[in-house]
Amino acid sequence: MFGKKTKEIMRTYKRKSTQYSWNEESMIAAIRAVRSDELSQNAAARQYDVPVATLHRRLKTGKDEIEASRKKLGRFTTVFTSKLENALAEHVLNMEKIFFGLSTNELRRLAFQYAELNGIPNDFNKEKN
């Protein structure tokens, strides 16, 4: 269907930007070094090979190292922290173990109720829950 040239082009794709080329472990280490006053922001960025502006922006959030170092998926932000998300996933898995599986819509409603009861700001549809 596709010509031979198309397949060759797809195999030789080279990334054109260096955006998000740092890894999360390096960002965690850099944030910890700056917060413990071991290194300045610029020195930590150089040592751990992360962008200075990104490190500065993530330090301003005030979140813990793991939450601050997570890479974001476009413009969308997560509603739950990783701890709350893991607790919700654990609950769903426990429900499955006792043969009470949840449908997709039931899981969405459960996430909405979880956010509302814990007072977490969200963009969920309040009419449909």
Q: What is the pLDDT of residues 15-44, one digit of tens each?
A: 788 788 888 899 999 999 999 999 999 999
- Cα(23)–Cα(118) distance, integer angstroms: 31
Q: Within this chain, do residues 39 and 83 fall inside the same structural domain, yes or no?
A: no
Q: Is 80 exposed, middle or buried (0-12, 13-18, 19+ CB in 10 A)?
A: middle
Q: Look at phi and psi of residue 14 and say left if phi exceeds 0, alpha if psi is from -120 to 50, else beta.
A: beta
In order of 11, 13, 81, 94, the CA distances from 30 in angstroms are 34, 31, 21, 37
Average pLDDT of the chain? 84
> What does pTM read for this prediction?
0.54
Instruction: Give residue 113's domain range.
Output: 78-129
Q: Within this chain, do residues 32 and 59 fall inside the same structural domain, yes or no?
A: yes
Q: Within this chain, do residues 63 and 29 fall inside the same structural domain, yes or no?
A: yes
Q: Within this chain, do residues 22 and 44 fall inside the same structural domain, yes or no?
A: yes
Tell me how many domains the chain contains: 2
